[in-house]
Amino acid sequence: MSSMSATDHNQGYRGGLEIPGWDLFYVGKVRDLYRHPAHPGCMMMIATDRLSAFDVVMNETVPDRGRVLTHITESYLKQVADWMPAARITCNPAEIPDLPAEFHDALRGRVTWTRESDRVNVEVVLRAYLAGSGYREYAKTGRLWDHALPEGLQNSSKLPEVLHTPTTKAEVDEPISWAEAEELIGSQEEADRIHELALKLFQQASDRAAEKGVILADTKFEFGRQDGELVLIDEVMTPDSSRYWPADSVVEGQEPQSYDKEIVRAYLRSVTEWNRKAPPPTIPAEVIANTRAKYLEICQILTGSLPEGVDA
């Protein structure tokens, strides 16, 4: 059985727990998914501290990262619960049926008990600023995929409006046009509703971040269907699914600091002999510590607190 010891600053939670009665049916880059035969239609999602970059899972973990992702997601879902339902039922391990009590401490702060949904097979990406793959696309083509843009924009330029740049839900997500997204969604009416909900979610989160001195440059949402109703699934507004910048340090034409694992990516880009395939190189402890500090900092800024039992 994997260790159930509490996460500390030196050793994160890698996942892979063997839980009596539960089937670990999916191991992703960051999350483990479990089912229990007595509870069809539901699953347990555990956010580990595993770290991936360039689609490769690193040997090192970022301690408490899974708790930060769960804490930020839960905070946002509560903020929008009166108009945007979610698939999740509870994040309290004591409320998950048939979860043995001896696993509660290990999973506290990183577990979500959720209804299984009919997933919408489109990743809904919204961008307010040029950054990352969006900036690289603009530098190459002068466009943001199917969106025409003004000339002369630079890295970290603010876009004329918040734009949808959807992608497929695949092993490697591929950009598609909104028209193609509508086809994958399968209904013009539902596509319009997703468009409307995503923009509303983005605007609300952007406004709240701005009040705290943070720019929300871009983010992605995943939707599912339950009883004909659209619900949010997976993480929301975390530093893994969103690009956050300190508002006072954004200079057009420069790469802004970001509250995410960019520290890790920057280090890996400096390892010229690595071909971006497994096995990954060793990441220095200082890079891990600095990455953890960024996750905790943005968590504190966005939610006003840290996850239970986590110290900066």
Name the residue ranges covered by the structural domains of the chain.
119-261
pTM higher than 0.85: yes
Reply yes or no on whether the pLDDT at 2 is more than 50.
no
Using CA of residue 6, residue 44, residue 278, residue 287, what is the dihedral sign?
negative
Going by pLDDT thresholds of 50, 70 and 90, the confidence category of residue 312 is confident
Reply yes or no on whether the pLDDT at 170 is more than 80.
no
Least confident of 18-27, 165-174, 283-292: 165-174
In angstroms, rounded to a whole number, what is the distance separating the alpha carbons of residues 206 and 215?
Answer: 7
Cis preceding linkage at 279, omega within 30: yes
Contact between residue 131 and residue 155 where contact means Cβ atoms under 8 Å apart: yes
Amino acid at residue number 126: L
| Percentage of residues in the chain having pLDDT higher than 90 | 91
For residue 9, what pLDDT is reported?
A: 46
b/e map of 218-227 (b: 16 or more CB within 10 Å)? bbbbbbbebe
Range 272-281 average pLDDT:
95
Write the DSSP assignment of 2-35 as a string of letters: ---PPP-SS---------TT-EEEEE-SSEEEEE
For residue 10, what pLDDT is reported?
A: 58
Range 181-205 average pLDDT:
96
Range 143-164 average pLDDT:
96
Range 64-71 average pLDDT:
98
Contact between residue 206 and residue 237 where contact means Cβ atoms under 8 Å apart: no
Residue 175 DSSP class: B
Write the DSSP assignment of 204-273 as a string of letters: HHHHHHHHTTEEEEEEEEEEEEETTEEEEES--S-TTTEEEEEGGG--TTS----SSTHHHHHHHHH-TT
Phi, psi of 125 (to 5 degrees): -105, 130
In angstroms, rounded to a whole number, what is the distance separating the alpha carbons of residues 125 and 147?
Answer: 13
Fold classification of 119-261 (topology level): D-amino Acid Aminotransferase; Chain A, domain 1 (3.30.470)
Helix, coil or strand: residue 304 = coil
